[in-house]
């Protein structure tokens, strides 16, 4: 297929509402033509500031900041809006619940939707569709409506790509004429059918001779892949692949332009062919619910933060991993492509281009004769250190970047890095103090399941932290100690609600300092995944072990770094009182006066799990 060989729609997706504040509301659009867009809110005179980013001959990312000319936008009430293209009204029926699309500018948060980990070809249901159903129901009672959707990591899986998805990616690149980058010096098979399910064999590896003699891999003479995901067989590589992948993850219309399920699988072996068929069934179910996801994102302000799979598994996990990537031009290029695509489709909307927009000029200069050359832009985006951000609400929303500000071990390069370095932890401390309540978004749980963290510690002792993703806050002595000291300060919030994902199961813990100087409570609310699950049988076993070994009276608690904090596990009504839930879901966090009032999981199947907060 080639550009103009199909009838391209003007809009590939509806409006995605991003950061919404009283002084400005931001939107993102995907279009196939250069158009002039305007958004009008009922009862307001506004001006729209448009930024166009051309990503292909027929692909434009449009960023639209809408500002009121007179009074500021009212907060915490529904604001209906209309979209105009070249002064012509756009039919918003498909993106509306009751005739008009409408947003809430959040100020006092009462209902927040939160989730993470959305893998298109996982056989579970997409819980974003259930969030859409919740929004449709809540229109009957606007007090229940969510004012904010927070996605805390792994919105895409660049390192775990289905076979038919990779086929669709390459078809969409051709259909939209997505600009390609300067060819990489990577020896891949020439045709896509030869690459399917075997790309990991051609990606860079580190010789076993360079591995630590304390690792099992050294003695097994096992080379260490730079891209350590066990599902890297179809790993994204080029910038055009990353761009097309994002479009297909969020646009129902884009799937009408490709036909991956007609791919001739006769070139695949039996195992690959069976996998392709299973992934096709899961993807077709995913595609069927994309219109609901688009409607959801047109009606709620959405904030995002990356975790590892948005770029690649184990991203910056250890100093050794970072060193291996830095020493390979190909590996570094792939990582940068993941970060650039995150910036385009997620990062620019988080802060309405206030800081992230400073990269736009350099990005535009990277395009030469419809080919990307990121030699200079790579330096710009690597130096950019403001992926984190805050929202001035009650409670205050604090979203932290736990990937690019890591506390690296200087003694042992194979030790897991702390999720935040000293400087970032001090900055976090300054942000947290002198607030009654804070909603803290940390991609990985701050307070995790002790038995799982113990198993991770054992693997780390064997020199293989990458095997079980040793990325918990307590894995690094300095980061753990400083974070606990922050929570024990008498000027930190009386109520801290931590929203996390990453782990593919959900839970609710509450935490209080045993020897603190003031009465405060910390809630660890973990919702994962939106479309992903931890193996249910294994999680059941781990839950029983955790209860047996780390009960409140257990002496084993004294050997954990957080022994100074009392952690309570809250049961749910899932399977007669489980506290660990492995069932794809998005969470609904209900608050009153800045304090947690309810924590509910909305499952993709339509079922609901409620946690007991007492």
Cross-strand partners of 390: 398
Proportion of the chain in helix, strand, coil states, percent, rounded to 5: 35, 25, 45
% of the chain beyond a pLDDT of 90 = 76
Asked whether the predicted pLDDT for residue 2 surpasses 50, the reply is: no
End-to-end CA distance of the chain: 59
Instruction: Provide the greatest CA pair distance for the chain.
Output: 71
Q: pLDDT by residue (tens digit) across 447-465?
A: 988 888 888 777 666 656 5
**Mean pLDDT, to the nearest integer, of 97-110?**
92
Alpha helices in 110-206 (DSSP H): 127-138, 163-176, 192-195
Count how many Cα atoms sit within 13 Å of the Cα of residue 446 in the half-sphere of its side chain: 27
Whole-angstrom Cα distance, residue 93 to residue 90? 9
Q: What pLDDT shows up at residue 467? A: 61
| Alpha-carbon span 489 to 431, nearest angstrom | 13
Q: In this predicted model, what pLDDT tens digit does every residue of 582-612 receive, in sequence order?
A: 999 999 999 999 999 999 999 999 999 999 9
- Span 301-311, mean pLDDT? 97
Averaged pLDDT of the chain: 91
Q: How confident is residue 557, by pLDDT bands cut at 50, 70 and 90?
A: low
What average pLDDT does the segment 469-476 reach? 74
List the single range of 30-39, 142-151, 164-173 with lowest mean pLDDT: 142-151
pLDDT at 488: 84
Of the candidates 285, 236, 257, 146, the one whose C-alpha atom is nearest the C-alpha of residue 602 is: 146
pLDDT in tens, 114-126: 999 999 999 999 9
Q: Is the peptide bond before 549 cis (omega within 30 degrees of 0)?
A: no
Residue-wise pLDDT tens digits, 347-403: 999 999 999 999 999 999 999 999 999 999 999 999 999 999 999 999 999 999 999
User: Any idea which of 22-36, 199-213, 416-430 has the lowest mean pLDDT?
Assistant: 199-213
* Distance separating alpha carbons of residues 402 and 428, to the nearest angstrom: 12
pLDDT at 104 over 80: yes
The reported pLDDT for the residue numbered 3 is 47
Distance CA 301, CA 7 (A): 32
Q: Where does the pLDDT of residue 213 fall: very low under 50, low under 70, confident under 90, or very high at 90 and above?
A: low
Provide the pLDDT for residue 576: 86
Range 425-440 average pLDDT: 94
What percent of the chain clears pLDDT 70, i.e. is strictly above it?
Answer: 91
Task: Report the distance separating Cα 559 and Cα 36, nearest Å.
Answer: 61
């Amino acid at each position: 297929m080639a550009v103009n060989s199909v009838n391209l729609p003007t809009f590939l997706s509806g409006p995605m509402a991003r950061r919404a504040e009283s002084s400005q509301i931001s939107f993102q659009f995907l279009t196939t033509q250069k158009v002039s867009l305007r958004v009008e809110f009922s009862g307001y005179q506004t001006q729209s500031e448009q930024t166009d980013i051309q990503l292909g001959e027929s692909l434009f990312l449009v960023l639209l900041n809408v500002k009121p000319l007179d009074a500021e936008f009212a907060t915490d009430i529904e604001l209906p809006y209309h979209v105009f293209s070249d002064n012509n009204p756009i039919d918003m029926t498909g993106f509306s619940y009751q005739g008009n699309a409408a947003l809430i500018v959040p100020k006092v948060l009462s209902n927040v939707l939160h989730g993470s980990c959305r893998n298109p070809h996982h056989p579970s249901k997409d819980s974003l569709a259930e969030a859409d159903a919740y929004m449709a129901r809540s229109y009957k009672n606007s007090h229940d409506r969510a004012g904010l959707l927070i996605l805390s990591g792994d919105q895409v899986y660049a390192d775990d790509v289905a076979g038919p998805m990779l086929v669709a990616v390459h078809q969409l690149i051709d259909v939209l004429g997505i600009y390609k980058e300067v060819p990489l010096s990577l020896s891949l098979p020439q045709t896509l059918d030869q690459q399917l399910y075997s790309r990991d064999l051609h990606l860079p590896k580190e010789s076993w001779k360079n591995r630590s003699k304390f690792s099992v891999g050294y003695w097994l003479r096992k080379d260490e892949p730079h891209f350590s995901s066990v599902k890297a067989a179809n790993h994204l590589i080029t910038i055009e692949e990353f761009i097309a992948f994002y479009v297909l993850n969020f646009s129902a219309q884009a799937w009408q332009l490709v036909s991956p399920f007609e791919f001739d699988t006769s070139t695949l072996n039996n195992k690959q062919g069976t996998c392709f068929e299973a992934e096709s069934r899961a993807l077709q179910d995913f595609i069927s619910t994309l219109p609901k996801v688009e409607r959801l994102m047109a009606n709620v302000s959405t904030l995002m933060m990356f975790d590892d799979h948005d770029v690649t598994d184990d991203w910056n996990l250890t100093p050794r991993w970072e060193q291996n990537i830095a020493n390979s031009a190909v590996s570094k290029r792939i990582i940068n492509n993941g970060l650039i695509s995150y910036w385009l489709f997620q990062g620019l909307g988080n802060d309405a281009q206030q800081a992230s927009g400073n990269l736009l000029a350099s990005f535009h200069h990277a395009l030469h004769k419809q080919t990307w050359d990121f030699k200079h832009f790579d330096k710009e985006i690597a130096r950019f250190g403001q992926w984190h951000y805050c929202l001035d609400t009650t409670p205050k929303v604090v979203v932290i970047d736990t990937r690019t500000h890591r506390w690296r071990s200087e003694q042992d390069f194979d030790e897991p890095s702390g999720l935040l370095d000293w400087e970032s932890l001090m900055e976090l401390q300054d942000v947290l103090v002198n607030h009654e309540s804070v909603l803290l978004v940390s991609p990985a749980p701050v307070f995790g399941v002790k038995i799982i963290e113990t198993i991770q510690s054992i693997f780390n002792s064997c020199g293989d932290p990458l095997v079980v993703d040793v990325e918990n806050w307590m894995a690094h002595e300095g980061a753990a100690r400083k974070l606990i000291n922050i929570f024990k300060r008498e000027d930190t919030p009386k109520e801290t609600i931590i929203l996390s994902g990453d782990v593919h199961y959900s839970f609710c813990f509450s935490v209080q300092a045993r020897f603190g100087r003031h009465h405060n409570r910390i809630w660890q609310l973990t919702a994962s995944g939106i479309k992903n699950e931890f193996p249910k049988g294994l999680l059941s076993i781990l839950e029983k072990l955790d209860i047996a070994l780390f009960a409140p009276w257990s002496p084993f608690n004294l050997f954990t770094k957080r022994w100074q904090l009392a952690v309570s596990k809250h049961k749910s009504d899932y399977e007669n009182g489980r506290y660990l839930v492995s069932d794809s879901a998005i969470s609904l966090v209900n608050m009153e006066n800045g304090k947690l009032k309810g924590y509910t999981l909305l499952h993709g199947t339509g079922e609901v799990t409620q946690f007991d907060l007492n």
